[in-house]
Structure 1
Amino acid sequence: MKKILMVVLAVLLAVPAGWAKPRAQRPDVAGDFDYYLLSLSWSPVYCDKHPEDRQQCGSKRYGFVLHGLWPQHSNGGHPDSCATASHLTEDARAFARTVFPSEKLIAHEWQKHGTCSGMTPQQYFKAADDARNAIRMPPQFEPGSRTQETTARDVSKAIREANPRITNSGLAVVCSGPELAEVRICLSKDLQPVPCGGGVRDACRRGTIRVPGVR
């Protein structure tokens, strides 16, 4: 028995103290991020899956819409739902209604992403609007009734040609199955195009993808 106890003690002494109890994960802190990811959603694909969202998918004919302006970390990942003293006021909501396609999206984007920006809601929504307005969309991605066939590479190329400061490493094209869902563009804290950080990459199948027209 004494020999067994000595062996157990030796093993315990050999294990580094840090292994006995993992360190607590660092909490997400408002304003502690490296760059933004501007997400522009192709509304017809969203509306095919969410016809109940009448604000975005009713009588209005949207093409690309602002999904969000998301704080990101350069090495990958992003802060999420940060503690903040700022609250979503009615004045901020009123401005956001001119920026986002639906009320539901306003509340979600502020709670999950805007709280981590270090800004007030009004400042955050203004930054999101400025970021969206700074991006020129090629004519082929204006709302239309005809479904197009293209490739993720050609979508990226067309947007970069319309916005020469965006490089190949500064945006990602995201699909939902065989259809275009989003374009994500990486921007600095002062909303200038920058290379994307870890984990931001194209997420579309190879070959042809569809860009459904607005119904």
Structure 2
Amino acid sequence: MRRLLASALLLMLALPARAEVPLTGYFTATSACPAYQSINRQTNPGQVMTQPGRAYDLVAGNTARPTHLWIVVPGAEPERRWVAVDCGTRATDAEGQIAAPPPPAPAPTYRGTQYILAVNWQPAFCETSPRKPECRDQQADDFEATNFTLHGLWPQPRGNEYCNVPARERQASQSGDWRDLPRLPLSPGLQRDLDEAMPGTQSALERHEWTKHGTCYGTTAEQYYAAALDMLLALNTSEVAELFADNIGRKITLRQVRDAFDSAFGRGAGERVRMACEPDGNRTIITELTIGLTGTISGPDDFASLIAVASPTDGGCKSGMVDPVGLR
């Protein structure tokens, strides 16, 4: 009996720790999904996401009827990652060789507004949230004194949020515990630009915006924020930013703002813009602009074509003051 038990134990120890089923072919992602190093622990070094429309070499399934597939993600460390089977489609050829991936499908024509670019007038935002770290020491020569600052870039439709985000991170984002969210793997240069253009990084706003909205953008955090900063640059070098900078301490109207958008980015651009205001004592101050965009963002020069094909929106508040830097 003891010999039988010993033999069984040796046999169990000789079995592989995992039961992957080898597969050949390729896996084409249809969604942006996390690519895990470990399924059970859901570890994802580098926060790697699959890119919709891209084909990946297929290595194995986690079981004979897999819930996850082991694929090769070039450039990731490590390269072999697990993705959920419903993240895409898989194909093999009859000889079991890796088949050539099909040509990428043409990008679908998007009808309506694909993204909302949300920008703050930071001095006014700080009047409403004076205890925020980024609002404690505003100076007249700060970037935010005369430029729009980045709030976020929000994939539409509304509710397209928290894509493949673990429950714990979603809870931290929704409860305002943004510093509990993972740090983003941004390059030093982009992080510098973001710290200037998004003062809310002092409150970990960039982590919240990525968790809630950026995870649905379909790229890495680096690419997501590079696109958002390109759109902000286009806005801050336009007649719209000049209108605000030239009227600090004075009231402007929605009509003036929309006319400035038309002048800078083409007729009808202003109809894609909404202005938000807040009461502040006996004043009404402009706190935010939200701008509809549709299409592929590849640089600041795209702004005019992107806003042109977005859907018109209601204008929001009719007028408000351009608040000067510093708390009142």
Contact residue 138 and residue 159 of structure 1 kept, 8 A: no
- Aligned counterpart in structure 1 of residue 130 of structure 2, from 51, 61, 85: 51
Aligned to 2:325: 214
Cα distance, 1:105 vs structure 2: 1.4
Matched, 1:101 2:214: no
For 2:199 and 2:246, the matched residues in 1 are separated by: 15
Distance 1:153 1:47, change over 3 A: same
Q: Over aligned residues, Cα RMSD in angstroms?
A: 3.0
Cα distance, 1:186 vs structure 2: 1.4
Report the residue type matching 1:41 in the other structure.
N
Matched, 1:185 2:291: yes
Report the residue type matching 1:140 in the other structure.
L
Q: Number of residue pairs matched?
A: 179
Where does the alignment leave 5 or more consecutive residues of structure 1 unmatched? 1-28
For 2:152 and 2:257, the matched residues in 1 are separated by: 20
Structure with higher Rg: it is 2
Matched, 1:171 2:273: yes
Where does the alignment leave 5 or more consecutive residues of structure 2 unmatched? 1-30, 33-51, 53-107, 167-181, 298-305
1:68-107 matches, within 5 Å, as 68-73=152-157, 77-83=158-164, 88-91=183-186, 95-99=190-194, 100-103=198-201, 104-107=204-207
1:31-46 matches, within 5 Å, as 35-46=114-125
Partner SS, residue 147 of structure 1: coil
Contact residue 171 and residue 196 of structure 1 kept, 8 A: no
**TM-score, structure 2 as length reference:** 0.48
For 2:148 and 2:217, the matched residues in 1 are separated by: 23
Aligned to 1:118: 218
Aligned to 1:194: 308
Contact residue 274 and residue 314 of structure 2 kept, 8 A: yes
Report the residue type matching 1:124 in the other structure.
Y
- Any idea what the Cα deviations from partners look like across 1:106-154, whole Å, max 9, x if unmatched? 111101110110111111011111111122234231287x411121221
Aligned to 2:316: 203
Distance 1:143 1:67, change over 3 A: farther
For 1:151 and 1:49, the matched residues in 2 are separated by: 20
- Any idea what the Cα deviations from partners look like across 1:71-96, whole Å, max 9, x if unmatched? 112xxx240111169x7534358724
For 1:172 and 1:112, the matched residues in 2 are separated by: 21
Q: Which runs of 4+ in 1 moved over 3 A?
A: 29-34, 87-90, 194-198
Report the residue type matching 1:44 in the other structure.
P
Report the residue type matching 1:202 in the other structure.
G
For 1:71 and 1:141, the matched residues in 2 are separated by: 26
**TM-score, structure 1 as length reference:** 0.70
Moved more, 31-40 or 169-178: 31-40
For 1:115 and 1:58, the matched residues in 2 are separated by: 32
Aligned to 1:162: 264
Which structure has more relative contact order (CA 8 Å, sep 6+)? It is 1
For 2:134 and 2:127, the matched residues in 1 are separated by: 14
Report the residue type matching 1:128 in the other structure.
A
